[in-house]
């Protein structure tokens, strides 16, 4: 029987349990994967803690991203074949279709082939990060050549994707990190400028870099008190995309900067892209093109074995990573 990961109560990483479970046959419109690699995401940590957009029904599986080989196809599926090498697009309920384990059944619409040149580890590090960044920066933000983009939490996998996407369209990135130890990594990853927020004032640094103009788009998963600083750093007419809530403190709406500059402060999630077929199609094509040319290239920080899933979650929560954390199966 395949091993899967499940949790019976919400809480810390230690609630994750590895169990053997009977092999599940896919139903209509579903496919089954022999999983080779699993990409970890902050969403799964929040889901495990009971703090995500979806509330787990216990006991629950979890996990959005896996790469593997299709080994069974349910009725009504014609475009996916047994033997196809695919990875999953986060467009389903984690509780119903969690992918942590040696085997996973997912909706057929949620799998996509990935370039042959990529390993399974890299294949598990595509869709969450690149589609999330694509939606805010390209689909909605309409970032173009010479625009200024402020990307916070710069060493996360989604921020790494945002840096690459910004560069691929000829725009300029300003990336933040709390500690100076990650500055060299971020510059090497393609950031045009890096601001170390423990040592530098964010708004003043942005003004210096942009000759007082500010940034056109902000891409931020932190919120909290930082939102006020982001509004100060924004150019007139800018859009601030908030796609997370890493700060434990409440976010106060920056009313006066928003009024003075005509700012848009916008909540945003990946599901705005993956639930809209036309937007998803544009996103997939953009990403395929970028992977083909090498403009987009998943940055892998560290891999863990499945039996070390608890350690992998703890590592994610430590915020030490520089890119994607992947679990191999």
- Res. 189: pLDDT tops 90: yes
Adjacent-strand bridge partners of 265: 240
**Per-residue confidence (pLDDT) for residue 20, from 0 to 100:** 97
Can you give the pTM of this predicted structure? 0.95
Query: Are the C-beta atoms of residues 10 and 3 closer than 8 Å to each other?
Result: no
Distances (CA, A) of 246 to 18, 46, 117: 27, 10, 34
Please write the tens of the pLDDT for every residue from 258-290. 999 999 999 999 999 999 999 999 999 999 999
If you average pLDDT over residues 140-167, what whole number do you get? 97
- Res. 323: pLDDT tops 90: yes
| Residue 47: closest CA among 323, 320, 313 | 313
Q: Determine what percent of the chain is predicted with pLDDT higher than 70.
A: 100
**Per-residue confidence (pLDDT) for residue 223, from 0 to 100:** 96
Q: Determine what percent of the chain is predicted with pLDDT higher than 90.
A: 97
Q: How many angstroms separate the CA atoms of 305 and 325, rounded?
A: 11
- My answer on whether omega of the bond before 59 falls inside 30° of 0, hence cis, is yes
What integer best gives the mean pLDDT of the chain? Answer: 97
If you average pLDDT over residues 131-155, what whole number do you get? 98
If you average pLDDT over residues 288-296, what whole number do you get? 96
- Res. 74: pLDDT tops 90: yes
If you average pLDDT over residues 135-149, what whole number do you get? 98
Domains of the chain: 3-126+298-328 (3.90.180.10), 128-271 (3.40.50.720)
**Per-residue confidence (pLDDT) for residue 78, from 0 to 100:** 83
Please write the tens of the pLDDT for every residue from 51-66. 998 999 999 999 999 9
Q: How many angstroms separate the CA atoms of 31 and 103, rounded?
A: 11
CB under 8 Å to 329, separation ≥6 — which residues?
35, 36, 37, 38, 68, 101, 102, 306
């Amino acid at each position: 029987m395949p091993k899967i990961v499940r949790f019976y109560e919400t809480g810390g990483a230690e609630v994750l349990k590895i169990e053997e479970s009977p092999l599940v046959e896919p139903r209509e419109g579903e496919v089954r994967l022999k999983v080779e690699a699993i990409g970890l995401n902050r969403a799964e940590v929040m889901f495990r803690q009971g703090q995500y957009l979806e509330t787990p029904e216990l006991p629950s599986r979890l996990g959005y991203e896996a790469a593997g080989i299709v080994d069974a196809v349910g009725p009504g599926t014609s475009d996916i074949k047994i033997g196809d090498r695919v990875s999953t697009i986060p467009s389903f309920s984690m509780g119903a279709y969690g992918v942590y384990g040696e085997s996973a059944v997912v909706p057929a619409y949620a799998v996509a082939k990935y370039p042959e040149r990529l390993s399974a580890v890299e294949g598990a590090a595509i869709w969450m990060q690149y589609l999330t960044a694509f939606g805010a920066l390209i689909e909605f933000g309409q970032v173009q050549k010479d625009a200024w983009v402020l990307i916070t939490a710069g060493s996360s996998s989604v921020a790494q994707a945002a840096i690459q996407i910004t560069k691929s369209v000829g725009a300029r990135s300003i990336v933040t990190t709390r500690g100076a130890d990650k500055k060299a990594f971020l510059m090497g990853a393609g950031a045009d400028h890096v601001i170390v927020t423990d040592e530098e004032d964010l708004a003043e640094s942005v003004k210096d870099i942009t000759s007082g103009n500010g940034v056109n788009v902000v891409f931020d998963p932190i919120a909290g008190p930082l939102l006020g600083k982001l509004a100060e750093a924004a150019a007139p007419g800018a859009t601030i995309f908030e796609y997370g809530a890493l700060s434990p403190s409440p976010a106060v709406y920056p009313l006066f900067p928003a009024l003075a500059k005509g700012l848009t402060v916008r909540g945003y999630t990946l599901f705005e892209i993956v639930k809209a077929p036309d937007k998803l199609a544009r996103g997939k094509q953009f990403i395929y093109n970028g992977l083909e040319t090498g403009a987009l290239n998943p940055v892998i920080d560290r891999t863990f074995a499945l039996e070390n899933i608890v350690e992998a979650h703890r590592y994610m929560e430590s915020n030490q990573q520089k890119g994607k954390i992947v679990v191999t199966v």
